[in-house]
Structure 1
Amino acid sequence: MSVQPGQLVGVEPYVASIGDIGVTRHWVMTPRGPAPLAGSEWWIADRGAWSQQIPVWAIILAIVFFPLGLLFLLCKETKWSGWLEVTVRSGALVHTAVLPLPSYEAQNAHAAVDRIRALAAEAGRA
């Protein structure tokens, strides 16, 4: 079953959403248009990384207590930053949603993709 441009898709409530991708029981809704959920393929890629930097407070204390304060420059903060990419392919439709890290939505993205994969498998059997 394919959707032609301009064809209306039945109104169904979203059962899941990730970024700008919405999922109903039978359809994947993206800014590029709808596509059938049955047979859709989902990927999630973690593009995050740990980074270390000298915190601002350590730089200020190093200046205030110079020269002994230079020891404060040995302090490091470790932060996790980056993004997640969630890609869906259904027929001719391919769309990627980018989720910044850290965010509430990104934390739950792996579980949501697993749930959507199960819905897609269930829709394919129906």
Structure 2
Amino acid sequence: MTFPPDDPWGAPAPAPTGPPSPADPLPPLIPVGPSPAAGPPAPPPRIPADPTIYVGPVIVQIAEIEVTSTVVRTPAGDFPLAGTQWQVNDFWVTQRRTPTWAKVAGVAGVCFTGGLSLLLFLVKESVPQGTMQVTVTSGPRQYVARIPATDERDVITVNQQVNYVRSLAAL
């Protein structure tokens, strides 16, 4: 946009009538695409490789594996639930460490007990940590999901879910 030299207030010049010259600034950019307020687009529906398979609501979800009444959905692809084989493996490690309360009491009590409270650092507790590995196999295809487990209840829950899916696969 150019201003006539005799206009001190910067009034806009008349619009050009011919093609833009190389000295003219570029026209303003107009954003193209979805507006930021619209949010992310919805993902396309997942369709199994076999179009005769009915895809219903998710009944059980084990980590990233979703199970409907007829289909097992994995990030690697979908396959029929009937005839699938399920396996669960536990991988546990038990660590021995000083609990937080013993550390705090040991440091705080040094001033009052003359160092005897440092014996609290000898207190140890066992902390189980591990992962569970759930493997689903259907013919030549296989998918493995790894699930962190911090408690015995996690192991029981995953085993119950897998046993339920096994009963669905046997129908």
- Please confirm whether the aligned pair reaches a TM-score higher than 0.5, indicating the same fold: yes
Measured in 1, the distance between the counterparts of 2:104 and 2:163 equals: 46
Measured in 2, the distance between the counterparts of 1:87 and 1:106 equals: 15
Q: In the alignment, which of 111, 115, 118 is matched to residue 164 of structure 2?
A: 115
Contact 1:62 1:70 in 2 (8 A): yes
Measured in 2, the distance between the counterparts of 1:7 and 1:57 equals: 57
Measured in 2, the distance between the counterparts of 1:39 and 1:70 equals: 60
Counterpart for residue 91 of structure 1: 139
The two structures, once aligned, show a CA RMSD in angstroms of 2.2
Report the TM-score when normalising by structure 1. Answer: 0.79
Q: Displacement, 1:105?
A: 5.7
Question: Aligned pair 1:36/2:85, yes or no?
Answer: no
Work out which structure has the larger RCO, using CA pairs closer than 8 Å and 6 or more positions apart in sequence. 1
Counterpart for residue 51 of structure 1: 95
Tell me whether 63-72 or 79-88 shows the greater mean CA deviation.
63-72
- Greater Rg over alpha carbons, structure: 2
Measured in 1, the distance between the counterparts of 2:164 and 2:50 equals: 27
Contact 2:63 2:145 in 1 (8 A): yes
Q: What residue ranges of structure 1 are gaps of 5+ in the alignment? A: none
Comparing both structures, which one devotes a greater share of its residues to helix?
Answer: 1
Distance 1:16 1:105, change over 3 A: farther
Partner of 1:11: helix, strand, or coil? Answer: coil
Q: Displacement, 1:57?
A: 3.3
Contact 1:35 1:91 in 2 (8 A): no
Measured in 1, the distance between the counterparts of 2:86 and 2:149 equals: 20
Tell me whether 10-19 or 37-46 shows the greater mean CA deviation.
10-19
Measured in 1, the distance between the counterparts of 2:60 and 2:104 equals: 46
Comparing both structures, which one devotes a greater share of its residues to strand?
Answer: 1
